[in-house]
Structure 1
């Protein structure tokens, strides 16, 4: 469910608006495999644009989120992104659940949509669990 109307990309705004309680929305780097048939909102323009954290900020600004899943490898392989991601999630009262990357990819198969950034650093991915604003 959308909180505000600041996202201009029509497909991304629609997915956030349509997300119901417990739906999964995956914000990805440029390399995460997206299952065939899954909805892909591809924002990648070129390597690094837009950055994963910029996309996360836009999504978190409008989507009610009650949980998040992150690959545990993110902390070791991409500590700057992991720290920034944890900080952003903590600001909305969410502590990410860490799972092995293989398990992370398996969990994405139930996602409503994938929002692909142009991020070119490893393990810059998160599964957001939709909440409700009430």
Structure 2
């Protein structure tokens, strides 16, 4: 083998080795890229699951709060209805005992009775008293 052939063989070996290394390096980089994309996808799915769990917990808490508020609201409405009934009965009996009523007092009395009866769903317990108050003469 002459020197030219040896140099050609060496150059071919170096070139082939470099090309092989480049191919192996390219395959390795492609594998790392795919693995990185897969890991990023799994991370996004994990974050999404965490956020979903957190939102579910928040929604459940809000639903419980709404139930408590509705229960409290119903109790307060019932209490207000009872207070207004008591007030309408008390005032009506007082006006009937006096035998007369002013125009403004009668207007306020009817406003309270309307809140009790129409607004809060009163059952008509005060209707007889209201009729008695309406029959009273107005103060001069």
Which is richer in helix?
A: 2
Instruction: Determine if the TM-score, normalized by the shorter chain, exceeds 0.5.
Output: no
Q: Which has the larger radius of gyration?
A: 2
Tell me the TM-score normalized by structure 1. Answer: 0.22
For CA contacts below 8 A with separation 6 or more, give which structure has more relative contact order: 1
Which is richer in strand?
A: 1
Tell me the TM-score normalized by structure 2. Answer: 0.22
